[in-house]
C-alpha cells in the first residue's frame, strides 16, 4: 500500500523561524570542485539527501575520498584522484549529479559509465553528449539515443563547443566546471536561450571559491584549489516555509539566506511580495509576513522554476487567478511538472489550466484530497501547503521528499 501523510491545518497565525538544510545545488557543485582540487576541502552546512549522496558516490567514482559527517552537516573531501578503470556512477534521481559528472569524467583518460534511476533515464542528455563530442571526448549512448546510460572516455582536448540552453542550464554548468581541466580550456557558446540563468552564476561563484575564473563562458586551463566552503541553506526548500506564511497567515523567518544569496530562488519572496505579503530582507534572513489575503499575479518563472509548484499552491488562496509563464522546460524534470500540478489541483476541485509554457491557477476552496506526487519531491512539498489551511489534505508517497529534503514533513509540522 502507498504510504500517505496527512497535513493538519494550523489553527492560528504562524510565528516561526526556520533554518532549512543546505543548498542541493551549492553542495553538489562544491563536492565536484573539491574532488577536482588536489588536497583536502571541507564543506560546512552541506545538504545530506539523496541527490547529494548521489554526488558523493559519483566523486568517489572519480577517485576522491569523501568523509561525510551528517550530524555535523560537514563533508571532508580529499580530491585530486583519478577514476579506477571501468568506473560506474549511479546518479540515482539527480540531474545535477549526472549532468555535472559526464564532462568531469571525460577529463580523464579512462572510460566511465554514468547511469541513474528510471526517472533520470527519462530525462534529456543529448545536449551534453553533443558538446562533449565537439570537445573531443568519446561518448557511447548505451540505451536510447540522447538518454542515460552512457559511457564517456577522455581525455578532453577542449576548444570551442556549442550547447543548447533552453532544455536545462545544467549542461552548461557541467561543461564550465570541467573546463579548467581540459587541455586547451573550453569556449562555450549557447545555441538557444538559457533557462535557469541564476544557476550558471552560482556555478561561477562556486568555481571562484575554488580558485578558478570563468570569463563570460570561457574557461582557461587552470587548477582548482581546495578550500573550506560554507554552504547556504537551500532557497528552493525555503520557498515552502515562506509560502506557508502566505497560505496560513502570520510570520515565517528563514535564517541563513540573505540579500546576497547565490541562489536565484530567494526571488520567490519577491513574488509573494507582489501578491501582497510583506517581505523583510537582511544580510542573513528573509521574513514573510502575511494576513493571508493575497492577490493573483502574472509572472515569468524561467529563472526560478523550482518554486513554480510552490506558487501554484499559494495561488489557490489568492483573490484572483495566477498565471505562470516561461517554464515549458519543467515538463522534463522529475515529472512533467506543469501537467502534474494542474492535474492535482483539479483533483482537489480547483480550476487549473495547463498552458504550453506554464499554468493558470484559479483560486477556490480545495476539497479533501489525497494528492498524487509522481515521485517528485516538489509535488509533495508544495501540495502539502494546501493542508495548512484546508482540511483533509493527504500526500501520497511522502517519502519522495528524500531527494532533497528528508526531514521536510517534520520541519513543516514544527512551524505550528
Ligand X SMILES: O=C(O)C1=C[C@@H](OP(=O)(O)O)[C@@H](O)[C@H](O)C1
298-317 residues near ligand X, rule: CB under 6 A: 305-306
- Nearer to ligand X (CB atom), residue 29 or residue 372: 29
Catalytic residue at 215?
Answer: no
Query: Footprint of ligand X on residues 137-176 (CB under 6 A)?
Result: 168-170, 173
- Residue nearer to ligand X on the CB measure, 168 or 322: 168
> Is 306 among the residues that bind ligand PEP (CB under 6 A)?
yes
The Cα-based distances of 91 to 48, 187, 195, 206, 287 in angstroms read 15, 27, 22, 21, 35
138 labelled binding-site residue: no
164 labelled binding-site residue? no
* Residue 239 binding result from ligand PEP, ligand X, none, given CB thresholds of 5 to 8 Å by partner type: none
Rounded distance, CA 301 to CA 197, Å?
Answer: 11
Give me the least distance between CB of 170 and ligand X, in Å please.
5
5, 92, 378, 389: which one binds ligand PEP (CB under 6 A): 378
Nearer to ligand X, 195 or 341 (CB): 195
196 binds, among ligand PEP, ligand X, none (CB under 5 to 8 A by kind): ligand X
Cα–Cα dist 271/312, whole Å? 12
Give CA–CA dist 6/92, Å, rounded: 27
If one asks whether residue 307 binds ligand PEP (CB under 6 A), the answer comes out as no
Nearest-CA neighbor of 117 among 138, 143, 155?
143
C-alpha–C-alpha distance, residues 296 and 284, integer Å:
28
Q: Is 325 annotated as a binding residue?
A: no
Given the residues 306, 319, 357, 411, select the one marked as catalytic.
306
Q: What distance in Å separates the CA atoms of residue 241 and residue 271, rounded to the nearest whole number?
A: 14
291 among annotated binding-site residues: no
Q: What is the layout of strands, in order, in the sheet containing 4-7?
A: 4-7, 393-396, 369-371
Q: Does 263 bind ligand PEP (CB under 6 A)?
A: no
**3-state SS of 261-320?**
CCCHHHHHHHHHHHCCCEEEEECCEEEEEECCCECCCEEECCCCHHHHHHHHHHHCCECC
318 forms beta bridges with: 294
Any residues with CB less than 8 A from the CB of 104 and at least 6 apart, and which?
32, 35, 36, 62, 174, 177, 178, 181
By C-beta, is 46 or 294 nearer to ligand X?
46
When CB distances are held under 5 to 8 angstroms depending on the partner's kind, the choice from ligand PEP, ligand X, none that residue 337 binds is none
C-alpha cell at 236: 528552493
The yes or no reply on residue 96 touching ligand PEP (CB under 6 A) is yes
When asked if residue 95 is in the footprint of ligand PEP (CB under 6 A), the reply is yes
CB of 222 to ligand PEP, least distance (A): 26
Among 173, 263, 382, 404, binds ligand PEP (CB under 6 A): 404
On whether 333 is known to bind a ligand per the annotation, the reply is yes
Task: Work out the angle at residue 40's Cα, subtended by the Cα atoms of residues 36 and 46, and round it to the nearest 5 degrees.
Answer: 85
Q: Is 251 annotated as a binding residue?
A: no
> Which residues are annotated binding-site positions?
24-25, 29, 95, 123, 168-170, 196, 306, 333, 337, 378, 403
Give the residues lining the site for ligand X (CB under 6 A): 25, 95-96, 168-170, 173, 195-196, 199, 305-306
Residues annotated as catalytic are: 306
Give the residues lining the site for ligand PEP (CB under 6 A): 94-96, 306, 333, 378, 404
Amino acid at each position: 500500500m502507498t504510504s500517505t501523510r496527512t497535513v493538519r491545518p494550523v489553527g492560528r497565525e504562524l510565528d516561526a523561524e526556520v533554518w532549512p538544510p543546505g543548498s542541493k545545488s551549492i553542495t553538489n557543485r562544491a563536492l565536484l570542485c573539491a574532488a577536482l582540487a588536489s588536497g583536502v576541502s571541507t564543506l560546512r552546512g552541506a545538504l545530506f539527501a539523496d541527490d547529494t549522496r548521489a554526488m558523493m558516490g559519483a566523486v568517489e567514482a572519480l577517485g576522491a575520498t569523501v568523509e561525510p559527517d551528517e550530524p555535523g552537516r560537514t563533508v571532508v573531501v580529499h580530491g585530486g584522484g583519478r577514476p579506477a578503470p571501468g568506473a560506474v556512477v549511479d546518479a540515482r534521481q539527480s540531474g545535477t549529479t549526472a549532468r555535472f559528472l559526464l564532462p568531469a569524467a571525460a577529463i580523464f583518460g579512462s572510460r566511465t559509465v554514468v547511469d541513474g534511476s528510471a526517472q533520470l533515464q527519462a530525462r534529456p542528455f543529448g545536449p551534453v553528449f553533443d558538446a562533449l563530442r565537439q570537445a573531443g571526448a568519446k561518448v557511447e549512448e548505451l540505451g536510447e539515443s540522447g538518454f542515460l546510460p552512457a559511457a564517456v572516455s577522455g581525455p578532453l582536448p577542449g576548444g570551442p563547443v556549442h550547447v543548447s540552453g533552453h532544455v536545462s542550464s545544467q549542461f552548461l554548468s557541467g561543461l564550465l566546471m570541467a573546463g579548467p581541466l581540459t587541455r586547451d580550456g573550453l569556449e562555450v557558446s549557447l545555441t538557444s536561450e538559457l533557462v535557469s540563468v541564476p544557476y550558471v552564476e552560482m556555478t561561477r561563484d562556486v568555481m571562484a571559491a575554488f580558485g578558478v575564473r570563468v570569463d563570460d563562458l570561457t574557461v582557461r586551463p587552470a587548477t582548482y584549489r581546495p578550500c573550506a566552503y560554507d554552504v547556504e541553506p537551500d532557497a528552493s526548500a525555503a520557498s515552502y516555509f515562506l509560502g506557508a506564511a502566505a497560505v496560513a497567515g502570520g510570520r515565517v523567518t528563514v535564517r541563513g539566506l540573505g540579500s546576497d544569496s547565490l541562489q536565484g530562488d530567494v526571488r520567490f519572496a519577491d513574488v509573494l511580495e507582489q501578491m501582497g505579503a510583506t517581505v523583510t530582507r537582511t544580510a542573513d534572513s528573509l521574513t514573510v509576513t502575511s494576513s493571508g489575503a493575497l492577490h493573483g499575479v502574472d509572472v515569468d518563472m524561467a529563472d526560478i522554476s523550482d518554486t513554480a509548484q510552490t506558487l501554484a499552491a499559494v495561488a489557490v488562496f489568492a483573490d484572483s487567478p495566477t498565471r505562470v509563464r516561461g517554464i515549458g522546460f519543467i515538463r522534463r524534470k522529475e515529472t512533467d511538472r506543469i501537467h502534474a500540478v494542474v492535474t492535482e489541483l483539479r483533483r482537489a476541485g480547483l480550476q487549473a489550466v495547463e498552458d504550453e509554457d506554464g499554468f493558470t491557477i484559479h483560486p477556490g476552496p480545495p476539497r479533501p484530497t489525497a494528492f498524487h506526487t509522481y515521485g517528485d519531491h516538489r509535488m509533495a512539498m508544495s501540495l502539502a501547503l494546501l493542508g495548512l489551511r484546508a482540511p483533509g489534505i493527504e500526500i501520497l508517497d511522502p517519502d519522495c521528499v528524500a531527494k532533497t529534503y528528508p526531514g521536510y514533513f517534520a520541519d513543516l509540522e514544527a512551524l505550528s
